[in-house]
Amino acid sequence: MNRFLCQLLQGLILNNLGISRRLNESLLSAKVKISIVVIGLILVSACSTVPTQPVESLNNTQHQQWLNSITHWQFQGRIAIKTPDEKLSAYINWSQKADSSHIVLTNLIGSTLLEMTSDNGFTTLEFDGKSYMDTDPERLLRRITGWDIPVKMLPQLVKGYIPDNEFSYQLSAQGLPSLVKQKRENGWQIHYDSFQQVDKVWLPDNLKLSHNPNNIKIRISKWILS
């Protein structure tokens, strides 16, 4: 149901419930009151449910073409990184413009934990009050933080786009990726748990990346396409 319509219905329902409470007992029977309350609760509940999968199965080939055409985007959410030596939970803001990216991790009070910018073949990392540079973002992250994160592949995988020559995959009944595996031995595995519809395109909002013994969870609260 359209979100604006849901909000309008919810407002009308709550307003009518308030009016019904003020009406004289003789004007409204108990059964009518109960019916109003039940209908209101059902509609409010239905509006609050956000679909996480398309109703009908998608054409995966067409869907992948749409995803590949999306080169400028931003998402906000949370990331959890688990390694043998460390556990970290942070807010993440990732902006991508073609091959240029800007990633910021912040803690609960908004302080920046890490900021990484990649552009024109160079990556700059701001971490723990110091600045570092490298031509390989993954190597830079491992060297400075010890984290193994596939940041070169993530701009495609986080959208749900599957590079054909590098990964095998499984689709859900709705035609969306559910499991993507890197073909090389002990490669990355990506589990897609749920999606959200953004500008008529279904994009992941809950995914897990695993590469023994490392695990990364990303929960996306907002996508912005431009």
> For the chain, how far is it from start to end, CA to CA, in angstroms?
25
Q: Are residues 97 and 208 in the same domain?
A: yes
Cα(134)–Cα(118) distance, integer angstroms? 9
Q: Are residues 209 and 127 in the same domain?
A: yes
The residue-averaged pLDDT of 173-201 equals: 94
More confident residue, 23 or 186: 186
Summarised one tens digit per residue, pLDDT across range 190-222 is: 999 999 999 989 999 999 999 989 999 999 999
The residue-averaged pLDDT of 158-162 equals: 96
Whether residue 143 is predicted with pLDDT greater than 90 in this model: the reply is yes
The residues, ordered by sequence, that sit 6+ positions from 16 with a Cβ below 8 Å of its Cβ are 36, 40
Parallel/antiparallel/unpaired status of strands 72-82 and 214-225: antiparallel
Cα-based angle 3, 173, 52 (whole degrees, multiple of 5): 25
Q: 154 lies in which domain range?
A: 60-225
Domain-located, residue 29: yes
Summarised one tens digit per residue, pLDDT across range 63-85 is: 999 999 999 999 999 999 999 98
The per-residue b/e assignment along 25-43, b for 16 or more CB within 10 angstroms, e otherwise, is: eeeeeeeeeeebeeebeeb
Q: Are residues 140 and 33 in the same domain?
A: no
At 122, the amino acid letter reads F
Q: Are residues 186 and 119 in the same domain?
A: yes
Whether residue 14 is predicted with pLDDT greater than 50 in this model: the reply is no
Whether residue 129 is predicted with pLDDT greater than 70 in this model: the reply is yes
Average pLDDT, the chain: 83
Q: How many domains does the chain have?
A: 2
